[in-house]
Amino acid sequence: MIMENVFWYLLSFLAYALIQALVINGLKACTEGSYEYMPDGNKVAKGMIFFRIAQYFNQFESIPVYYHGEKIKELIEKCKEKFGNSIPISFLEGKINNTILKIEQPDIQEQVMIQQFRDTVLRKSENAKCDKWSENEYVFYKEYERYKFPKFIRKSVALGCVRCSSSFWGTVTFLPVGFYFEWPLWLLIVWIADLFILVHLNYWIYKRV
């Protein structure tokens, strides 16, 4: 009799977890969409009902982080290892002062190589960028995203990650069970197990729908 009760409780738990995963995946689907640029230059949102809400919580700005000192030389050397003779000689022989690389006055051929290096080689090799600071002086940097809202809000609450959303939305959808049983201690253990199961179950369903 005890084993039979355990079986039915376990079956009910798994069925409820499946319902939770379907609900969370449904909410996730409602946040998907994209932007389209119209012929007049306006950007139009095309997506599901919660797409704009999700995009609001995923706002960010790009922040440049500059290479400094020997890191500039290391960056150029890494590019050289991958692209060989495509690296401007003036950059290899330039002098570094903090974040600035100062080079000798380049001739026309060298100017072409510098432009190619800035536009193509640097980006393909290290996903970095190079700006002209002043005459014959350059700075190197990478751009990183600084988000307006913390990762928990973006990934879990705003459903940016179907696995991460298990923590918040798994808890929200588990509340009816907690209120029904009036939160005994053993239910807290079940709640934690439920969240871990949803991490995998959410992703499994997401990849198949």
What are the tens digits of pLDDT across the range 28-84? 999 999 888 888 878 888 888 899 999 999 999 999 999 999 999 999 999 999 998
Q: What is the pLDDT of residues 89-101, one digit of tens each?
A: 999 999 999 999 9
Residue 64 φ then ψ, to 5°: -80, 135
pLDDT at 207: 93
pLDDT of the residue at 47: 83
Helix segments in 44-128, DSSP class H: 51-57, 70-83, 89-92, 108-116, 122-126
Any idea what DSSP says for residue 75? H
What pLDDT score does 8 carry?
A: 87
The pTM (predicted TM-score) of the whole model is 0.78
pLDDT over threshold 90, residue 86: no
Q: How far apart are CA 135 and CA 86, in angstroms?
A: 22
Residues 135-178: pLDDT tens digits?
999 999 999 999 999 999 999 999 999 999 999 999 999 999 99
Q: State the average pLDDT for the chain.
A: 93
Confidence (pLDDT) at 46: 85
Q: Does the pLDDT of residue 1 top 60, yes or no?
A: no
- pLDDT tens digits, one per residue of 194-206: 999 999 999 999 9
Domain map of the chain by residue range? 2-33+48-59+150-206, 62-145
Task: Please report which confidence band the pLDDT of residue 4 belongs to, taking 50, 70 and 90 as the band edges.
Answer: low
- Residues 128-137: tens digit of each pLDDT: 999 999 999 9
Using left for φ > 0, alpha for ψ between -120 and 50, and beta otherwise, residue 85 falls in alpha
Indicate the residue type of 180: Y
195 vs 181: CA distance, rounded Å: 18
**What does the alpha-carbon distance between residue 119 and residue 117 come to, in Å, rounded to a whole number?**
6
